[in-house]
């Protein structure tokens, strides 16, 4: 067995197991026979020596709200008890949607305590959000402040048949909240033992489909790879971005907790806490170096192309979602498997283009003559549909300029006079996705005007223009 594989055993033994494993690796499964719980390793085991140590502080909030490990334990255990009373248990899928907040992190720990499956996604377009909810078959959605209005609108239109909780500070008398659930819980809930190979996390990132990770396996792989990159006995780490996938602030925070490290969330422009290591993306790293602030920086990138854009003399971590680990300066690039390997077995290849984001869709809508913008996932990648009376070639250069900061070169641009709408007045993104994927079984029952469909189909098969 290689030195690296021995390293996985060492990383696993650093965790707390509720039932010890019998085999380290057997039939492509890791730590067979073992049972653990991510919440125990991220929170509970730190109560003995560090209960009153700050686990998380959000400096993006003017009040600098924070939680100690004791508070994180109490709140998550109470929320888990409330959720169990509501029927959530092992295997239940719950989406944590939008910007990472402290309440959302409490929900994350509550779900892992229950043995539920966390589905993590940043904010995206309505149609893509609905597609993710349906694809992952979630029963609940926990929404942060930046997505409350979106989910309420979809719930009101009855397009979303799930229950939901709010994880943020916006006051809404009609919305149930994480804090309300914590207050109403009849008590605490002990963590349940979870078999080491059971899927515990579906993580959306650089691929239209989520990466599927075993809850214990991803903790072993990420903690085992992070520990090689962090300073010895690091007490706290600053996170300055929330970019989705393995760069998601919530995901990184959870894994740093496994190592017993306190986390500080700051904006990319904030001053680094004294002596604390700062995890930044390549863009932030370039800005910091240009301003003469390059101390205690560790660059984290989702792929080698973006890693190449970072300052060459800084230490770098390459997020490897297929293996579920962070590759320090490409040292582990030869590995073909790890305890954190993607269990979806869907053949994730090279990183996909940036998935649709509200900010660049809004920027495109500001172009003169553009009435609507929708991005859908087709059989060969992403299709960018624009409703406009302007010509496609005329729009192409303008669109290329607007989306230059994002990785959209392989998107296909399709311009049509109008997009189909549902009877409720929303863009029929589900139908458009079916068309893009060449699904012969199209349902037109909810479409306001069926005559808008033929031009879409005709234009799709006339060799759309690439943005790159």
Is pLDDT of 200 > 70? yes
The model's pLDDT over 35-60, given as tens digits with 9 standing for 90+, comes to: 999 999 999 999 999 999 999 999 88
Residues 51-74 have a mean pLDDT of 90
Q: What percent of the chain has pLDDT over 90?
A: 34
Residue 350 confidence (pLDDT) above 50: no
pTM: predicted TM-score of the whole model, two decimal places = 0.73
Of the listed ranges 21-35, 105-119, 172-186, 292-306, the least confidently predicted one is 292-306
pLDDT beyond 90 at 71: yes
379 pLDDT more than 90: no
281 pLDDT higher than 80: no
pLDDT at 334 over 50: no
Query: Per-residue confidence at 21, pLDDT binned at 50, 70, 90?
Result: very high
Least confident range of 41-55, 167-181, 352-366: 352-366
Q: Across residues 181-207, what is the average pLDDT?
A: 92
CB 31 within 8 A of CB 220: yes
Residue 142 has pLDDT above 90, yes or no: yes
Kindly report the three-state secondary structure assignment for every residue of the chain: CCHHHHHHHHHHHCCCCCECCCEEEECCEEEECCEECHHHHHCHHHHHHHCCCEEEEECCCCCCCEEEHHHHHHHHHHHHHHHHHCCCCCCCEEEEECCCCHHHHHHHHHHHHHCCEEEEECCCCHHHHHHHHHHHCCCEEEECHHHHHHHHHHHHCCCCCCEEEECCCCCCCCCCEHHHHHHHCCCCCCCCCEECCCEEEEECCCCCCCEEEEHHHHHHHHHHHHCCCCCCCCCEEEECCCCCHHHCHHHHHHHHHHCCCEEEECCCCCCCCCCCEEEECHHHHHHHHHCCCCCCEEEEECCHHHHCCCCCCCCEEEEECCCCEEEECCCCCCCCCCCCCCCCCCCCCCCCCCCCCHHHHHHHHCCCCEEEEEEEEECCEEEEEEEECCCHHHHHHHHHHHCCCCCCCCCEEEEECCCCEECCCCECHHHHHHHHCCCCCCCCCCECCHHHHHHHHHHHCCCCEECC
Residue 18 or 338, more confident: 18
pLDDT tens digits for range 76-104: 999 999 999 999 999 999 999 998 999 99
What's the rounded mean pLDDT across residues 303-326? Answer: 72
440 or 324, which is more confident:
324
Q: Please check the confidence at residue 378 and state whether its pLDDT lies above 80.
A: no
- Whether 351 has a pLDDT exceeding 50, the answer reads no
Is residue 18 within 8 Å of residue 43, measured between CB atoms? no
Per-residue model confidence (pLDDT) at position 433: 75
d(CA 176, CA 167) in angstroms, rounded, equals 9
Question: pLDDT higher for 209 or 283?
Answer: 209
What's the rounded mean pLDDT across residues 395-401? 82
- Reply yes or no on domain 358-466 having CATH 3.30.300: yes
What local confidence, expressed as pLDDT, does residue 463 receive?
53
**Dihedral sign from CA coordinates of 107, 144, 431, 212:** negative
| Residue 73: predicted pLDDT | 98
The pLDDT value recorded for residue 154 is 78
81: phi > 0 → left, psi -120 to 50 → alpha, else beta; which? alpha
Identify which of 295, 282, 280, 200 has the alpha carbon closest to the alpha carbon of residue 239.
Answer: 280
Q: What's residue 64's pLDDT?
A: 79
Q: Would you list the domain boundaries of the chain?
A: 358-466
Where does the pLDDT of residue 72 fall: very low under 50, low under 70, confident under 90, or very high at 90 and above?
A: very high
pLDDT computed for residue 345 by the predictor: 53
Task: Kindly report the average pLDDT of the chain as a whole number.
Answer: 82
Quick: pLDDT tens for 238-256: 987 667 788 899 999 999 9
pLDDT range class, residue 70, cuts 50, 70, 90: very high
- Summarised one tens digit per residue, pLDDT across range 408-423 is 666 778 888 888 888 7
Per-residue model confidence (pLDDT) at position 42: 97
Indicate whether 349 pLDDT > 50: no
Q: Is the pLDDT of residue 26 over 90?
A: no
Half-sphere exposure of 385 (CA within 13 A, CB side): 27
Q: How confident is the model at residue 271 (pLDDT cuts 50, 70, 90)?
A: low
């Amino acid at each position: 067995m290689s030195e690296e594989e021995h390293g996985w055993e060492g990383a696993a033994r650093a965790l707390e197991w509720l039932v010890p494993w019998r085999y380290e690796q057997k039939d492509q499964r890791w730590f067979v026979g073992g049972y653990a719980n991510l919440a125990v390793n991220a929170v509970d085991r730190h109560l003995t020596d560090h209960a009153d140590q700050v686990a998380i502080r959000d400096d993006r909030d003017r009040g600098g709200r924070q939680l100690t490990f004791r508070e994180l334990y109490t709140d998550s255990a109470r929320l888990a008890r409330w959720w169990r009373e509501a029927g959530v248990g092992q295997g239940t899928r719950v989406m944590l949607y939008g910007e990472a907040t402290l309440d959302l992190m409490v929900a994350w720990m509550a779900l892992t305590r229950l043995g539920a499956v966390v589905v993590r996604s940043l904010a995206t377009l309505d149609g893509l959000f609905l597609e993710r909810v349906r694809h992952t078959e979630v029963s609940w959605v926990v929404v942060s402040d930046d997505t409350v209005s979106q989910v309420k609108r979809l719930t009101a239109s009855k397009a979303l048949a799930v229950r939901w909780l709010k994880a943020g500070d916006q006051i809404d008398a009609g919305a149930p909240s994480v804090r309300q659930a914590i207050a109403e819980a009849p008590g605490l809930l002990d963590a349940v033992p979870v078999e080491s190979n059971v899927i515990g996390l579906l993580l959306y990132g650089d691929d239209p489909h989520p990466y599927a990770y075993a809850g214990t396996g991803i903790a072993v792989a990420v903690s085992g790879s992070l520990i090689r990159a962090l300073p010895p006995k690091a007490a706290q780490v600053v996170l300055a971005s929330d970019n989705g996938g393995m760069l998601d602030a919530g995901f990184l925070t959870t894994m740093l907790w496994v190592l017993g490290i306190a986390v500080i969330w700051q904006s990319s422009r904030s001053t680094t806490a004294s002596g604390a290591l700062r995890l930044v993306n390549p863009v932030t790293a370039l800005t910091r170096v240009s301003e003469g602030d390059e101390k205690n920086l560790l660059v984290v990138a989702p792929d080698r192309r973006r890693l190449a854009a970072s300052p060459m003399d800084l230490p770098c971590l390459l997020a490897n979602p297929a293996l579920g680990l962070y590759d320090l300066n490409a040292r582990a690039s030869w590995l073909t498997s790890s305890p954190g390997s993607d269990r979806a077995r869907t053949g994730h290849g090279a990183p996909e283009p940036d998935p649709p984001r509200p900010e660049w869709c809004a920027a495109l809508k500001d172009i003169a003559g553009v009435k609507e913008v929708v991005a859908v996932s087709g059989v060969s990648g992403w299709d960018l549909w624009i409703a406009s009376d302007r010509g496609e070639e005329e729009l192409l250069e303008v669109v290329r300029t607007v989306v230059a900061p994002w990785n959209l070169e392989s998107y296909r641009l399709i311009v049509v006079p109008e997009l189909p709408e549902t009877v409720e007045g929303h863009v029929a993104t589900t139908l458009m996705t079916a068309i893009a994927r060449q699904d012969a079984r199209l349902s037109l029952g909810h479409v306001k005007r069926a005559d808008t469909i033929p031009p879409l189909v005709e234009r799709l098969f006339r060799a759309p223009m690439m943005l790159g």
